[in-house]
Amino acid sequence: MTAGDAATAIVTAAVTAHAAGAGSAADAPPRGIGASVPPTEARAKTEGTFPYAADLWAEGLLWAAVLRSPHAHARIVSIDTSAAAQMPGVRAVVTQADVPGAATHGRRISDRPVFAHDVVRHHGEPIAAVAADHPDAARLAAAAIAVEYELLDAVTDPEQSFGAPPLHPEGNLIRHIPLRYGDPEAVGEVVVEGLYRIGRQDPAPIGAEAGLAVPRPDGGVEIYAASTDPHTDRDLAAACFGLEPERVKVVVTGVPGATADREDSGFQLPLGLLALRTGCPVKLAATREESFLGHAHRHPTLLRYRHHADAEGRLVKVEAQILMDAGAYADSSAESLAAAVAFACGPYVVPNAFVEGWAVRTNNPPSGHVRGEGAMQVCAAYEGQMDKLAAQLGLDGAELRLRNVLATGDSLPTGQAVTCPAPVAELLRAVRDAELPSLPKDAPEEEWLLPGGPEGAGEPGAVRRGVGYGLGMVHMLGAEGTDEVSTATVKVQNGIATVICAAVETGQGFTTLARQIVQETLGVDEVYVAPVDTDQPPAGPSAHGRHTWVSGGAVERAAKMVRTQLLQPMAAKFGMSTELLQIKDGRITSYDGAFSTPVAEALQGKELWATAQCRPHPTEPLDAEGQGDAFVGLAFCAIRAVVDVDIELGSVRVVELAVAQDVGRVLNPRQLAARIEAGVTQGVGAALTENLRTASGLIRHPDLTGYALPTALDAPAVRIVRLVEERDVVAPFGAKAASAVPVVTAPAAVASAVRSATGRPVNRLPIRPSAAVASTGGAANS
């Protein structure tokens, strides 16, 4: 066995142990669809045995370090790697000149070099990478690379990007979407305007990026990383390495959280290059600072709105301008902009809508896919407009919204009919009618948890309570013509089922769902979900609730095919169709009860398997006027936020968030509740604390000390008051995506509640203390 083979065996064993050890259902009593089956990896994570990429090791391992730009915009005059290459323990130094294949890469638009070589376009952009015998030697060697820069003016204001010199050969404009719907001359009796700014939220995963690359005897390479879309990562890597895709294999390790940070190939490509150059396994474990500098963030967005309504508060027209800061490279900005423009009016009936949307390049940190991208930014803006309309008309905020909510059969401003369940009015009434939390004056002073209470810096008398609402919507699966397809294989041997599907478990619960599906369909208790790698057929990225729908649908179809194989001989023996046999509680029983046998007995000595695909109905790109059936399905959420605000200091405490959500069907109650609570908490972070600040394009605090994530002490009380189970008939199981829509809705609801408490407009997220200081005569209730 070669060193490469040995390393591969060690790494593969670790990944397989993670999948098999976490996937057993033998000791888990709950089973099947609708049961609160524990997450497959829960025990391993609790015991600290769950292997992440940072835990992997191989014989002859080298360590990698990446040199990153300290500037936001500069011309590279020269790169001298000689001093680094001569340092003890250094095995290789690579720059863009050493990239044998494609000069650029990109998940949607190929515009990003593996290493900057002529121009640096953002702070932290990779310049070179080093492999050495020890991580310290690698870091010292990277620091010894001499780079001569000619500083250039950084374009950091997206509004200035239109007239600035091109930052990229393809220009500064990534996409422009003009949406035209209805009568441009329509005018309402009441008009309100607003300017809104949404900050840069970082996904801030618990585990920073890490990976291991192992060279193969055939001249290829295997990459072990927390990829969320391994087949796309493989194809990008193969193109840059100048190899056929078959000679590059991506093996997915444990994923410690995933949004934008797992979609950046900038950590994987240097690893593969160094492994190919040295012929040795190479490992890279990013520091927290490198993690902040390297991966993509939520798009900072500037939004201008004008809402027209009649005297009764019914919307007449919405006009909007949406400007998204993509940072230095395109990434997913075109798709994020499409969601922002399509959902610019929110889950409301708007007969006339005129929206202009732009995504532009700047020298700011890169932006990309973060849960609810595009939809979250516009939700904060259109809900701010609804609050303004309610105040102008003297209406309660919930009542104004109820007069305008979308329902099944209505149309989006893109012209697409809403054919899926859209119980928006029911969701809003549920949170409106839920009991409010008690006021703090009803509790002893020592129990107060107020931002200005006895333990705070302010006075209790300065605290005001506010109640606000948010209605949000997201699309599920890909959009605008994306070919959504997933393939799964289900095998049963010796009474044990194995699921093979390249759907990556990122914490959304796919492996648990796959177990539930097989248990429900085949009556088998022990179900294992195989580790994911690119030797399997592709299943697509882990985003937009895809895997519940397409991968779960593929698993269900494969399991049903195996079920038919199992039941067919029995049905033929008794002269009946397989539909007259049912599997329940581990037994196969005929419709009349005359025949019954344990599933385990029927499977004895048999090896059954089937492979199936799931492909939802196709969509189409938005046309030149922003029209088209661009989305497969939609999900909705209503949140009522209750906050306490110290109107003198501007400090905010979220007392409670009451949530009602359109979920289609509850597949795992406990897991669903956890996903909703996590999404709400992420939204509260975007509303109050999370803002990756920059100065002239430079990230000011690339660490978890300066970037304020909500902790367990900051997490609000989340009360799920209604889960509407109105099944979407075109979705497998009828279920809808659950994680993104509370992230989208929570920031808008919190901002609405702060407006209620202070009388201030609150047009920026996260909310600054100065914006939460009450205006004179603010209409806040104490």
Tens of pLDDT along 468-480?
Answer: 999 999 998 888 9
Q: How confident is the model at residue 452 (pLDDT cuts 50, 70, 90)?
A: low
- In b/e form, how buried is each residue of 143-175, taking b as 16+ CB within 10 angstroms? ebbebebeebebbbebeebeebeebeeeebebb
Q: Which segment of 282-291, 306-315, 478-487 scores lowest on mean pLDDT?
A: 478-487
Convert the pLDDT of each residue in 693-752 to its tens digit: 999 999 998 998 889 888 888 888 999 999 999 988 888 888 888 889 999 999 999 999
Provide the pLDDT for residue 778.
40
Provide the pLDDT for residue 721.
96
Fold equal for 55-152+208-294 and 486-614: no
For residue 18, CA distances in Å to 38, 220, 744 come to 16, 25, 32
Q: How confident is the model at residue 32 (pLDDT cuts 50, 70, 90)?
A: confident
Which conformational region is residue 32 in: left (phi greater than 0), alpha (psi within -120 to 50 degrees), or beta?
left
Task: Give yes or no for a contact between 750 and 767, defined as CB atoms under 8 angstroms apart.
Answer: yes
Q: How confident is the model at residue 447 (pLDDT cuts 50, 70, 90)?
A: low
In angstroms, the CA 22 to CA 514 distance is 13
Identify which of 374, 337, 428 has the alpha carbon closest to the alpha carbon of residue 201: 374
pLDDT mean across residues, the chain: 89
Task: Give yes or no for a contact between 5 and 217, defined as CB atoms under 8 angstroms apart.
Answer: yes
735 burial (CB, 10 Å; 0-12 / 13-18 / 19+) is: buried
In angstroms, the CA 331 to CA 337 distance is 12
In angstroms, the CA 398 to CA 755 distance is 14
Q: What is the 3-state secondary structure (H, E, C) of 317-374?
A: EEEEEEEEEEECCCCCHHHHHHHHHHCCCCCECCCCEEEEEEEEECCCCCECCCCCCC
pLDDT over threshold 90, residue 571: no
Q: Which residue has the higher pLDDT, 701 or 27?
A: 701
Euclidean distance between the first and the last CA atom of the chain, given in angstroms as a whole number: 74
Say which residue the tokens 């969509």 belong to: 619
DSSP 578: G
Give the right CATH number for 301-480+621-772 from 3.40.630.40, 3.40.50.620, 3.30.365.10, 3.40.50.720: 3.30.365.10
Q: Tell me, which fold does domain 55-152+208-294 have in CATH?
A: Aldehyde Oxidoreductase; domain 3 (3.90.1170)
Identify which of 242, 252, 109 has the alpha carbon closest to the alpha carbon of residue 539: 252
User: Collapsing DSSP states into helix, strand and coil, what is residue 652?
Assistant: strand
In angstroms, the CA 699 to CA 690 distance is 13
Domain definitions of the chain by residue range: 55-152+208-294, 301-480+621-772, 486-614
In angstroms, the CA 334 to CA 359 distance is 7
Q: How confident is the model at residue 782 (pLDDT cuts 50, 70, 90)?
A: very low
Convert the pLDDT of each residue in 120-152 to its tens digit: 999 999 999 999 999 999 999 999 999 999 999
User: Collapsing DSSP states into helix, strand and coil, what is residue 780?
Assistant: coil
Convert the pLDDT of each residue in 684-695 to its tens digit: 999 999 999 999
User: Collapsing DSSP states into helix, strand and coil, what is residue 500?
Assistant: strand
User: Collapsing DSSP states into helix, strand and coil, what is residue 585?
Assistant: coil
Task: Give yes or no for a contact between 283 and 54, defined as CB atoms under 8 angstroms apart.
Answer: no
In angstroms, the CA 603 to CA 330 distance is 52
715 burial (CB, 10 Å; 0-12 / 13-18 / 19+) is: middle
Convert the pLDDT of each residue in 338-380 to its tens digit: 999 999 999 999 999 999 999 999 999 999 989 899 999 999 9
* pLDDT (mean) for 103-120: 92
Provide the pLDDT for residue 259.
62
For residue 158, CA distances in Å to 53, 222, 300, 324, 419 come to 36, 39, 9, 7, 37
Q: Which two tokens stand for residue 628?
A: 């088209």
User: Collapsing DSSP states into helix, strand and coil, what is residue 498?
Assistant: strand
In angstroms, the CA 667 to CA 513 distance is 8
* pLDDT (mean) for 95-104: 95
Say which residue the tokens 């025990």 belong to: 43
Q: Which residue has the higher pLDDT, 9 or 697?
A: 697
Neighbours of 643 (CB within 10 A): 31
Identify which of 735, 741, 252, 230 has the alpha carbon closest to the alpha carbon of residue 517: 735
pTM of the entire structure? 0.92
For residue 323, CA distances in Å to 302, 357, 361, 562 come to 5, 6, 11, 51
Number of residues written out for the chain = 782
pLDDT over threshold 90, residue 585: no
Task: Give yes or no for a contact between 654 and 662, defined as CB atoms under 8 angstroms apart.
Answer: no
Sign of CA dihedral 578, 582, 588, 589: negative
Provide the pLDDT for residue 399.
97
Give alpha helix (H) positions in 203-314.
Answer: 230-241, 268-278, 288-294
Provide the pLDDT for residue 438.
85
Q: Which residue has the higher pLDDT, 34 or 219?
A: 219
Q: How confident is the model at residue 244 (pLDDT cuts 50, 70, 90)?
A: very high
pLDDT over threshold 90, residue 414: yes
Provide the pLDDT for residue 446.
57
In angstroms, the CA 660 to CA 505 distance is 26
Omega cis (within 30) before 766? yes
Identify which of 639, 315, 349 has the alpha carbon closest to the alpha carbon of residue 470: 639
Q: Which segment of 111-125, 173-187, 538-552 scores lowest on mean pLDDT?
A: 538-552
What's the Rg (C-alpha) of the chain? 27
Q: What percent of the chain lies above the pLDDT cut of 70?
A: 92
CB neighbour list of residue 328: distance below 8 Å, 6 or more residues apart: 112, 121, 122, 125, 167, 168, 361, 362, 363, 364, 365, 366
Q: May I ask the CATH class of domain 486-614?
A: alpha beta
In angstroms, the CA 194 to CA 184 distance is 19
* pLDDT (mean) for 35-64: 88
Identify which of 613, 403, 364 has the alpha carbon closest to the alpha carbon of residue 487: 613
Identify which of 521, 529, 483 has the alpha carbon closest to the alpha carbon of residue 504: 529
